Structure formats: C-alpha cells, structure tokens
Amino acid sequence: MTQSSASAKPPIRVRRIRFAYPTGSLRRHFVDGDLVMSHVMAYLSSTFPEGEDFFVRSVQHFADELIEPELRSRVRGFIGQEVTHGREHHELNERLWQMGYPTRWGDRTTYHFLGLCERVLSPRTCLGITAALEHYTAVFAETLLTDERAQALLGSTEVRSMLLWHAVEESEHKAVAFDVYRAVGGTERRRIIAMLFTKAFFATGIITHTAVSLAGDRTAYHPVTLARSLAALRHSPFLTPRVFGRFRDYVKPGFHPDDTDNTALLEYWTAQLFGDQGTLVDHLR
C-alpha cells in the first residue's frame, strides 16, 4: 500500500471520554466470574499504558518522513487515541491493583522490556513490532465486537463499556502503524520477522505474568476451580481457529490489515456507542 492509498480512508476521531470504577463496582473475578480469564485480562490491561506510549514513539519517530497529508492526519488521530487509551487503562489498572491484581508489576515489566527493545533494535524494527502488536489488538478487538460470547464475558460493568470503546478505536486505526511502516520503506522480510518476534514475547508474557498473578490469588489454590477455568480456555471466543487464522495471515507476503473489511462493523458500533442514543454518550466530555 502506498502513502496515497491512505487518502481513501475515513479520518480517525479522537474522543474525549472518561470511565469510572467505584469501589465495589467490580467482582473479584470480573470476567464472567472466571478465574484465569480475569487474570489474563488484568495482565493485558497492565501492558497498555506503556505499550501505547511505545506505539506512539515508534510512529512519531517517522512522522516527518511522511508525505501524504491524509496519512499524516491519520497519524495524529492514532496518537490522540492511543494517549487516551493509555490514560484510561491506567485508571482501570489502579482499580485492579486495589482488588489484588499485580497490575503495577505488569506495567513495570512492560516498561523495561519495551525500553530494552528501543535501546537494542532499530527504529524501523520497533515500528514493525508496533504494527505487529496493533494487529494483535485489532484481531482481539474485532473478535469482541463480532462475537456475542465475548461480549457476554464482560457482563454490564464499566469494564465492558471501556473495552468496547477501546475495541472500536483499535479497529478504526488498525492500519496506521502498518501504513507508516510501508511508507518509510519497511520491508516484508523485516515485517514478518518482527511479527515472529512479537508472537514469541507476547505468548511468553501472557503465560508468565498470568501464572505469577494467579499465585497471589487464594482461589487459584482450589484444584477443581483452577482446572475448570483452565479447561474453559479451550472454548474461549478469543482462542478460536478463526482468531489464530487471522494471526497467521499477518506473516503472508502482501498482507494488509484492511484485507479484513471492518467498515460495517465500525458503523454499527459507532452508532451503538456514540449515536444519538448511544450507550457511551454520557461518558464523552
């Protein structure tokens, strides 16, 4: 995809939004009462503040090299959305910390790991990692937006509202880092290697941090509860063959995030959340 092809895409809107998590508003295992999925979700949330900052730095590094005005505009929208995502996940992470999840530890380890990447890898490789991680978040986001089972896991709490908003915006800007990577001369070989590297540390991070997080939860020491929760992972809407197929698509030569059209999906959820009767209109500032 060339820089000029970005001009056909709609602008990215930065929404001024706030969520609140009053004490006692969340169940201890807030993902449908499930032990393991609650700890996985808490860990993933803990990575977002530092992760979003890394994404912004990776894209900003090349901002002056971009020629196409529409792509430059989309980069500004991407940065605005990512900064807001980091702020809102920080608020959620503090609430989860109060509930006993080690989100501050997850935040620190993410900071140190991504800092190491920036010290030892080239800016173009960091941008490739950003594009790969954006693909992961977009696939999970669009799974949440399309699968009613995934939505049901989050009940009707403020976490559900926040994650639906986050999912919509991840879907809106899913191709920005990828387009910047292409525009500044990123090669297919580097892109695919960056994804393979990302896949390894992403999986390792989830397994390691979830295990540590579970070790601090007394419920995890009930063998039957833990076994049932682990067994339930096989049926998770986020771990289906379709999801893994979309992850594999990324390493195919010629891949582009917009190969999966999300236009109708975004139109539906934008109306549901931010239309005249949208459920999150009252959260906008």
Provide Rg for the chain, Cα atoms: 19
- Tell me: the pLDDT tens digits for 209-263? 999 999 999 999 999 999 999 999 999 999 999 999 999 999 999 999 999 999 9
- Tell me: the pLDDT tens digits for 4-59? 444 467 789 999 999 998 877 789 999 999 999 999 999 999 999 999 999 999 99
Helix residue ranges per DSSP H, the chain = 35-60, 69-98, 103-120, 123-146, 148-152, 158-172, 176-183, 188-215, 223-232, 241-249, 263-274
- Tell me: the pLDDT tens digits for 105-154? 999 999 999 999 999 999 999 999 999 999 999 999 999 999 999 999 99
Please say if the pLDDT value at position 196 is more than 90.
Answer: yes
Rounded CA separation 26/40 (Å): 16
Q: What's the rounded mean pLDDT across residues 172-192?
A: 98
63 neighbors 74 (Cβ within 8 angstroms): no
Q: Residue 284's beta-bridge partner residues?
A: 17
Residue type (1 letter), 13: R
The two structure tokens encoding residue 40: 């996985």
- Tell me: the pLDDT tens digits for 52-96? 999 999 999 999 999 999 999 999 999 999 999 999 999 999 999
Residue 16 DSSP one-character state: -
What is the structure's pLDDT at 1?
40
What is the structure's pLDDT at 280?
97
What is the structure's pLDDT at 33?
95
What is the structure's pLDDT at 5?
45
Please say if the pLDDT value at position 2 is more than 60.
Answer: no
**Whole-Å CA distances, 149 to 144, 146, 164, 237, 273:** 8, 9, 14, 7, 19
What is the structure's pLDDT at 145?
98
State percent of the chain over pLDDT 70.
Answer: 97
pTM (whole model) above 0.75: yes
3-state SS assignment for residue 162? helix
Q: Residue 17's beta-bridge partner residues?
A: 284
Mean per-residue pLDDT over the chain, rounded: 95
| CB contact burial 109-138 (16+ within 10 A = b; e otherwise) | bbbeebeebbeeeeebbbbbbbbbbbbbbb
- Backbone angles phi and psi of 284, in degrees to 5: -80, 145
What is the structure's pLDDT at 4?
41
